[in-house]
Structure 1
């Protein structure tokens, strides 16, 4: 499924190993030893056309071949690719629960890094790392598990807490922000998460998870916004930052809803198209107006009210050192330097 197959399946179809090898520089992605994903139909290797069963993945792969800089499309592609890896991965036991980043991808929760090369599972028995699977010794409560493709998979809330506890602050805040924001009742979801923490001794003892819960407001509308909060929190400057602030002019007329307002006079905007939706969609752009023109008009209106407007790209946020440099360029003073790892973009 998801255009993914094993070398054993290819052999059963009469596809020779040398064809698998040469196609990797053309229309195949090698995900792991003996596991491949078809990127798109290819005249040179027609043997793989019959293995395509997911057109969305093909469309994304083609668009990324033309423009590999679109992180949103890349994230969607790698999500589908990993789901394919899960469906054919050998070694998943009946006592395993797909968890952490793998469960997050199945539940549509964003992760870092973008590409995941192993299937993450939890098992009450023991921890071990195999070619395709990484198994953690964890007991997952029955209420935190659902079925997907016949496999036991942790819920979105459980996966977010697992990443906050076991992976990183960045991954945890991004996941928790998403889970809280997309819940029917965000306040109730925060209560559910706190209850899950109290019921699990390992979660309750995790200082990192506690930080993630404190920093995840549920107001971030993208991973970039979640990471911006993390960067300010790491520097001790978080109290100066407000999220999703509505700006009005002196006549009370709505001007824009901005990602962040810092020190009441500096606006920080993360790269993203959501704020350029049409007015009918709840955004700022007029019907038929070019998004770039809408962006300029929006920025001019904010500057006319006396605000400094600074735009942050993904590359400015993902790397802590580059983030601090970008803040210095914007004359924004942060607190003491923290030590955090960065994640590079993953492309096809």
Structure 2
């Protein structure tokens, strides 16, 4: 029995759509038993092959898609689910539940893998995306940050800045409108850690580690020039007074830095040449760090404090 025509581009299909094509409940149950379909929640199914191959984030998006197709216009995709729909990183985010904000101000509840939030939304705080209502970027960034721990919150806020979906001034304005909300103080503190200029989760977490250790705050995406004023490179973290550069080497960076038709080996050699120029032409010290360094922050910070005195 063919079900592919009834599935959407994510491989999601609703029970009502299957029934409309003549696939009734007994047949649906049989498709689940033989492994053709996976039941995501009441009324929502997915192509089993697509589900098995999907990441945790993609599975959350699939469940979100099915849930939104079940509901009318009185809800908006929000919080973590909206952030992932925009493409935000999933570091530290809970993925087990789809988050909706009730525009009709219905009560808060958790039901069938859906967390319903009660909260008033202004007209400019809700937009249409893929035919469904979703909270606007600024509202989404703050709502998501309110749900999670500081590090995950800052990674999300930094990403929204980096994508130019919002900016610090807009988030401060948005935060002022919810000053009576219970999360206001917590969000104020988290927002104080977010920065324009972090270009990956690794860079956000590294910056937080520097600040937690009491090190001076670095300049982000600093342009280093030689004596003639020619640009040598833009670096992740810089302490100009100490002439110290720290570069975070993560998988995202290597994929984003590759030029069209360039191999990994060619890209690494080009990056090494750039680093040599930074050292030779300017006399700066260059330290490279990786995810392994973030897992052992004590050793990382010991390397940095040779060049940086902690702030009193």
Does the TM-score normalized on the shorter chain lie above 0.5? yes
Q: TM-score, normalised by structure 1?
A: 0.67
- Segments of 5+ residues of structure 2 without an aligned counterpart are 1-7
2:161 maps to 1:207: no
Shift of 1:244: 0.6
Structure-2 separation of matches of 1:309 and 1:29: 50
Q: Indicate which of 203, 218, 225 corresponds to 1:248.
A: 225
Q: Number of aligned residue pairs: give it.
A: 290
Note the 1:176-325 alignment, pairs <5 A. 176-183=157-164, 189-202=167-180, 206-237=184-215, 239-262=216-239, 264-270=242-248, 271=250, 272-273=253-254, 276-278=257-259, 290-304=266-280, 305-314=282-291, 316-317=293-294, 319=295, 322-325=296-299
Shift of 1:133: 0.6
Structure-2 separation of matches of 1:310 and 1:28: 50
Hey, what does 2:11 align to over in structure 1? 3
Q: Which has the larger radius of gyration?
A: 2
* Aligned residues of 2:213 and 2:301 also touching (Cα < 8 A): no
- Segments of 5+ residues of structure 1 without an aligned counterpart are 41-51, 62-73, 337-348
* SS of equivalent residue, structure 1 residue 116: coil
Structure-2 separation of matches of 1:9 and 1:117: 25
Structure-2 separation of matches of 1:98 and 1:198: 23
**1:7–1:308 distance in 2 versus 1, CA, 3 Å:** farther
Q: Cα RMSD over matched residues? A: 3.9
**1:235–1:330 distance in 2 versus 1, CA, 3 Å:** closer
**1:253–1:33 distance in 2 versus 1, CA, 3 Å:** same
Shift of 1:104: 1.1
Hey, what does 1:128 align to over in structure 2? 109
Higher relative contact order (CA 8 A, sep 6+): 1
* Aligned residues of 1:165 and 1:203 also touching (Cα < 8 A): no
* Aligned residues of 1:220 and 1:226 also touching (Cα < 8 A): yes
2:66 maps to 1:88: yes
- The one-character-per-residue Cα deviations of 1:17-41 (angstroms, maximum 9, x if unpaired) are 5764664xxx98775678554475x
* Aligned residues of 2:32 and 2:38 also touching (Cα < 8 A): no
* SS of equivalent residue, structure 1 residue 106: helix
- The one-character-per-residue Cα deviations of 1:232-277 (angstroms, maximum 9, x if unpaired) are 233333x331111111233433221100014633322122137735
Structure-2 separation of matches of 1:334 and 1:94: 55
* SS of equivalent residue, structure 1 residue 143: helix
- The one-character-per-residue Cα deviations of 1:276-310 (angstroms, maximum 9, x if unpaired) are 355xx9xxx99998111112222222333433333
Shift of 1:314: 3.6
